[in-house]
Amino acid sequence: MKFFADTADIAAIDELVPTGLVDGVTTNPSIIAKSGRDFKEVIAEICKIVDGPVSAEVAATEANQMIAEGRELAKIASNVAIKVPLTWDGLIACKTLAAEDTMVNVTLCFSANQALLAAKAGATFISPFIGRLDDIALDGMELIHDIRVIYDNYPGLKTEILAASVRGANHVRMAAIAGADVATIPPDVIKGLVRHPLTDKGLEAFLQDWAKTGQSIL
């Protein structure tokens, strides 16, 4: 499973890239607003740091304007993926931009039927929002399972499942088990995946035993 960092924080991305764990980046209007910086400048800077897809979301809600904004954002770098909402107009924009060989991330997916429509419209990625479904007492992970089954039933559908609204380590684990192609994850959650108390305990014991030998490797 690929990991996309869900952030516009350049420092956080810089910290993660050397680990080899970052396959791409996703942003949205809320994340960009928190950065307090110019939208296009932030996207351009991220695209220079990360080789993989960098999602940049349109602000329009009408298809023709979405297409125009998508084309403008696509000029920033070859690895920009245009993010459009899963609406009727969003599907029209997706179809047009995908036909122009532009990567499209269709976002705000909350049903398997929506995911099927996005795939038929040529989406590169479909973003089911796991956490937001969990918030309203629905099973977000069940949606990942359903989309995986549908896409696997029809090999002609090439859309990748991008698990979004990931809240913690369990979401990452369950999305991987369910067969999500990608998970977009906040940097602090990515860093938290490495932690386990038994790892810390084991390392402490090894270091104590090594110190008793009085030896040095270098």
**Domain boundaries, given as residue ranges, for the chain:** 2-213
2, 34, 48, 83: the active-site residue = 83
How far apart are the C-alpha atoms of 60 and 137, rounded to whole Å? 30
Are 28 and 54 spatial neighbours (Cβ–Cβ below 8 Å)?
no
Q: For this structure, is 83 an active site residue? A: yes
Predicted pLDDT at 36: 85
How far apart are the C-alpha atoms of 3 and 101, rounded to whole Å? 23
Give the dihedral sign, CA 12/55/107/181. negative
Predicted pLDDT at 173: 97
Number of residues assigned to the chain: 218
CATH code for 2-213? 3.20.20.70
Predicted pLDDT at 41: 95
Predicted pLDDT at 218: 93
Q: Taking the chain (218 residues) in consecutive chunks of 10 residues, what is each chunk's mean pLDDT?
A: 96 96 93 88 96 97 98 98 98 98 98 98 98 93 98 97 96 97 97 95 95 94
